[in-house]
């Protein structure tokens, strides 16, 4: 998490967000993105056209390498961490369910308490407050606030989109005017060259 790395805070291994508690961490580290249409397995060097096929390969061939002893899937925390908002799925615009919201808020607050105990010093206390604002406060019905108020995805404004569209529409017209003007100037120059020089005597040979 960037905001944790910025203050150089070390998360306890008891925190579910600790990298060692991610059962798929080793697999993710063995994904090699060679090109836009090429993914390679870091275990056996086999190549695939898409990441989803590499994931299937991990399930079929390297499932025994998963950290199932104490690791857990971080997707279990998606409800608390607003994965639907990040992925822009339809569930983020669905009707608010008070029971689900209460469950996710409780899970979110438990993560804040476990990962950033306020009795562990000023850094932990600040991160605890930041985590609550970034993730937990948005778990309300009705949804009056959005997650990630500090940072996160920035939506383009209507003014910016309008200016961009207007620029794209006017740019071809501008180039057309410049082209016609230059062509007219070249035509005028050629006409001037054709005008005979009247009243000028020829030099004697």
pLDDT single digits (tens) 118-134: 999 999 999 999 999 99
What percent of the chain is modeled with pLDDT above 70?
Answer: 77
The answer to whether position 104 is within a domain reads: yes
The answer to whether position 79 is within a domain reads: yes
Tokens 């608010």 map to which residue? 96
In the prediction, which pLDDT does 46 show?
A: 96
**Which has the minimum average pLDDT: 161-165, 182-186, 193-197?**
193-197
State whether 96 and 164 are in the same domain. no
The whole-angstrom separation of Cα 128 and Cα 113 is 7
Q: Quick check: 148 pLDDT over 70? A: no
State whether 82 and 117 are in the same domain. yes
What percent of the chain is modeled with pLDDT above 90?
Answer: 40
State whether 5 and 102 are in the same domain. yes
- The helix (H) or strand (E) run that includes residue 175 is helix 158-194
User: Tokens for 70?
Assistant: 């104490």
Contact 132, 115 (CB under 8 A): no
Q: Find the radius of gyration of the CA atoms of the chain.
A: 32
The candidate with the shortest Cα–Cα distance to 22, out of 56, 68, 54, is 68
**Residues in a beta bridge with 135:** none
State whether 113 and 165 are in the same domain. no
The answer to whether position 161 is within a domain reads: yes
State whether 2 and 82 are in the same domain. yes
The residue-averaged pLDDT of 128-152 equals: 79
State whether 183 and 95 are in the same domain. no
The candidate with the shortest Cα–Cα distance to 147, out of 99, 80, 100, is 80
The answer to whether position 129 is within a domain reads: yes
The answer to whether position 29 is within a domain reads: no
The whole-angstrom separation of Cα 157 and Cα 150 is 17
State whether 96 and 149 are in the same domain. yes
User: Tokens for 107?
Assistant: 């899970």
The answer to whether position 23 is within a domain reads: no
Tokens 């607003």 map to which residue? 82
Tokens 């790395």 map to which residue? 5
The whole-angstrom separation of Cα 111 and Cα 164 is 42
The answer to whether position 176 is within a domain reads: yes
In the prediction, which pLDDT does 3 show?
A: 77
In the prediction, which pLDDT does 84 show?
A: 76
Q: Residue 186's pLDDT band (boundaries 50, 70, 90)? A: confident
Domain boundaries, position 162:
157-187
The residue-averaged pLDDT of 162-186 equals: 84
State whether 84 and 183 are in the same domain. no
Number of domains in the chain: 2
The whole-angstrom separation of Cα 182 and Cα 189 is 11
State whether 104 and 82 are in the same domain. yes
Q: Quick check: 76 pLDDT over 60? A: yes
State whether 5 and 78 are in the same domain. yes
State whether 132 and 79 are in the same domain. yes
Its pTM stands at 0.58
State whether 95 and 119 are in the same domain. yes
The backbone torsions φ and ψ at residue 117, rounded to the nearest 5 degrees and listed phi first, read -60, 130
The answer to whether position 109 is within a domain reads: yes
């Amino acid at each position: 998490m960037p905001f944790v790395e910025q203050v150089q805070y070390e998360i306890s291994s008891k925190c579910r967000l600790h990298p060692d508690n991610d059962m798929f961490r080793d697999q993710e580290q063995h994904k090699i993105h060679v090109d836009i249409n090429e993914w390679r397995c870091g275990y056996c060097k086999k190549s695939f056209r898409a990441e989803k096929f590499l994931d299937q390969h991990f399930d079929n061939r390297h499932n025994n390498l998963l950290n199932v002893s104490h690791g857990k899937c971080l997707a279990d925390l998606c409800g608390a961490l607003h994965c639907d908002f990040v992925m822009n799925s339809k569930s983020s615009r669905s009707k608010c369910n008070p029971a689900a919201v209460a469950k996710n808020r409780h899970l979110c607050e438990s993560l804040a308490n476990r990962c950033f105990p306020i009795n562990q010093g000023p850094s932990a206390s600040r991160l605890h407050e930041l985590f609550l604002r970034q993730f937990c406060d948005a778990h309300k019905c009705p949804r009056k606030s959005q997650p990630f108020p500090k940072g996160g995805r920035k939506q383009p404004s209507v003014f910016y989109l309008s200016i961009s569209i207007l620029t794209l529409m006017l740019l071809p017209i501008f180039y057309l005017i410049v082209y016609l003007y230059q062509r007219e100037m070249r035509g005028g120059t050629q006409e001037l060259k054709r005008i005979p020089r009247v009243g000028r005597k020829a030099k004697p040979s």
